[in-house]
Amino acid sequence: MSSVAPIPDYELEDVRVVSSPQELRAMAEPLRSTILELVLERAATVAELASAVGRPKSTVAYHVGVLVDADMLKVVRTRKVRAMEERFYGRTARIFYVGVVDRRDGKVPPECVNELTAAAAQPVPAHQADTLRGIIRHARISPERAAEFWRRVFALTHEFMQLPRAGDTVYGFVAGLYPTEYPTLPAKDGHDEAPRSDGSQPSALE
């Protein structure tokens, strides 16, 4: 039986689809996004979150309230400190997956958070220190195969998020899968050759 403590230290759903303007606005604000990331490690109080982000408790309390109202944070436990009740906040789901945007309230929802754009500036110091690990590749594949590949990436993301915490460095992991207008080679002999039943392509010598 494993003695490794679960991460985070409270129960939550694995995936929750978010689509309402309230949810999208809540998670799009940078400080609120950071708060959501911090409590993926463990539940935290407003004071702990304020200390982590270097912002006043009143500011953090406001943003925590917005996330609670959007049902993205919840109180997962409390404890008595002198005569006060201290609240520990955690996420309602490990992953918030942006689904079909709900426009029924007539409001224009915010732009969905572009995780790749948000992460683009973070690796600069690592690149300068030669500690950046990154790769980008392109492949001409079917939508079905792209969806299956993304499910495997999703599973790898779950694994990364639950790795035992150790050391003093927080590592970032970013993944993306998106259609592009990247160039492709012309078809062989004027037409595409069908792959075999096992998915492999005939060689140029066949």
Rounded to two decimals, the pTM is 0.69
Q: Specify the number of domains making up the chain.
A: 2
Q: Which among 111, 135, 159 is the end of a domain?
A: 111
| 190 has pLDDT over 80 | no
Q: How confident is the model at residue 1 (pLDDT cuts 50, 70, 90)?
A: very low
* 102/149 same-domain check: no
- Which pLDDT score, from 0 to 100, does residue 84 have? 86
Q: What is the pLDDT of residue 206?
A: 46
Contacts of 70 (CB under 8 A, 6+ apart): 20, 22, 23, 25, 26, 27
Mean pLDDT, residues 101-125 taken together: 60
DSSP conformation letters of the chain: ---PPPSSSS--EEEEEE-SHHHHHHHHSHHHHHHHHHTTTS-B-HHHHHHHHT--HHHHHHHHHHHHHTTSEEEEEEEEETTEEEEEEEESEEEEEE-SPP-TTSPPPPPPP-HHHHHHTTTHHHHHTT------------HHHHHHHHHHHHHHHHHHHTSPP-SS-PPP------------PPPGGGSPPPPPTTSPPPPTT-
Q: Are residues 80 and 131 in the same domain?
A: no
Question: What is the pLDDT, as a whole number, of residue 76?
Answer: 96
Q: Quick one: pLDDT band at residue 55, thresholds 50, 70, 90?
A: very high
**Does the pLDDT at position 30 exceed 60?**
yes
Q: What is the 3-state secondary structure (H, E, C) of 16-68?
A: EEECCHHHHHHHHCHHHHHHHHHCCCCCECHHHHHHHHCCCHHHHHHHHHHHH
Q: How confident is the model at residue 3 (pLDDT cuts 50, 70, 90)?
A: low
pLDDT of residue 196: 56
Residues 107 and 118 grouped into a single domain: no
Q: What percent of the chain has pLDDT over 90?
A: 38
What is the span of the domain harbouring residue 165? Answer: 114-206
Examine the domain organization and report whether 101 and 142 are in the same domain.
Answer: no
Q: Which residue has the higher pLDDT, 113 or 52?
A: 52
* Whether residue 106 is found in the same domain as residue 121: no
Task: Give the model's pLDDT for residue 104.
Answer: 55
